[in-house]
Amino acid sequence: MARLNEEVKTILKSKQTDILDLWKKHLFTKSKQLIELIGLDNLNQRTTNFLTQFIDALSIGDDISQENYKRTREFLSDLSQEMTQKNLTPSETAMFVFSVKDAIFPLLMAEFDGKKFVKSILLINSVIDQLGLVTIEEYLNSREIIIREQQNALTETSVPVVKVWNKIIMVPLVGMLDSSRTELMLETLLESIEDTQAKVAILDISGIPIVDTLVAGHLIKTATAARLMGTDCIITGIGSKISQTMVQLGIDLSAVVSRTTLEDGLKLAFEITNQKIKLGE
């Protein structure tokens, strides 16, 4: 395992203030937004901390998965998470680490030459690159978490089953109907059929922008399942555009009753369940 030469380490330690100044100068020109988000006081503290930890860790080894880099890694992860939440681009966050190179290399260049110089440069270079990747990985992780949370929120609210009337339930479908949502819809629908013992289920697809063969397949599957439980399925909200595309695509929905408006669907549902509404005076 390669590690930093003692001599180089002493130099870096003694020149720490110079490095810091140079580094901050680079940060000011390259990642203004980052500095704005962190704040000037905070920046001083963070850069100092980072540099101290970094130089100490360098003198032990160059494998950043080791214990000596633990604090540096955690520091960068926290920074990246914070910046992601504040909508900073991952390149700017990574620039925070990468600009350390611009601060250290000129100093080393002035102090050494030849083999020792190249060796130290290569070592520092490889470690900083790895640390840069840590920030990007953390960025991706934070994004993943956000995406997962949103997905959960979406699935939770995506399939409401509404009891409209005695023995009539309705599922208003909004957005794209993919396989996983169909599964969810099917399950929720069948569950509420079991609970409410509804005789008619109305699937309102007014909120579905495009009905292709796949979506139609899902609808038919749902209707068949409801039918097996003993509940009739009515599909409403089939507008002119959807009916056109359906016929052009050769989708056969004849197994399912369909209506243009929810109103007509409801009327039909009342007929099927032998119910009438009397409007009072």
Q: Which residues of the chain form contacts with other proteins (CB under 8 A)?
A: 186-187, 190-191, 193-194, 197-199, 221, 224-225, 227-231
Nearer to other proteins among residue 38 and residue 200 (C-beta): 200
Give the shortest CB-243-to-other proteins separation in angstroms: 24
Q: Where are the beta strands (DSSP E) in the chain?
A: 162-165, 168-174, 200-207, 232-236, 257-259
- Closest CB to other proteins among 67 and 183? 183
Containing H/E element for 54? helix 40-58
Neighbours of 23 (CB within 10 A): 20
Q: Which of 225, 279, 278, 221 is nearest to 253 (CA)?
A: 221
Nearer to other proteins, 99 or 222 (CB): 222
**What tokens appear for 253 in the block?**
């929905």
> Is 4 or 193 the residue whose CB approaches other proteins more closely?
193
With respect to other proteins, which residue has the nearer C-beta, 85 or 224? 224
Minimum distance, C-beta of residue 166 to other proteins, in the bound complex (Å): 13
Closest distance between other proteins and the C-beta of residue 278, in Å?
A: 23
The candidate with the shortest Cα–Cα distance to 201, out of 276, 275, 256, 240, is: 256
Q: Which two tokens stand for residue 224?
A: 């068949």
User: What minimum distance in Å lies between the beta carbon of 191 and other proteins?
Assistant: 6
Least Cβ distance, residue 212 to other proteins (angstroms): 20
177 phi and psi, to 5 degrees? -105, 95
Nearest CB to other proteins, comparing residues 57 and 190: 190
Rounded to whole angstroms, the Cα distance separating 41 from 186 reads: 56
Single-letter code of the amino acid located at 130: Q
Phi, then psi, of 107 in degrees rounded to 5: -65, -45
DSSP state of 264: H
Please state the closest distance from residue 142 (CB atom) to other proteins, in A. Answer: 36
Residue placing its CB nearer to other proteins in the complex, 197 or 244: 197
Closest by CA to 91, choosing from 31, 40, 24, is 31
Burial of 68 (0-12, 13-18, 19+ CB in 10 A): middle
Work out the end-to-end distance of the chain between its first and last CA atoms, rounded to an integer number of angstroms: 91
Residues 47, 66 contacting (CB under 8 angstroms): no
Rounded to a whole number of angstroms, the minimum distance from the CB of residue 224 to other proteins is: 6
Closer of 199 and 259 to other proteins (Cβ): 199
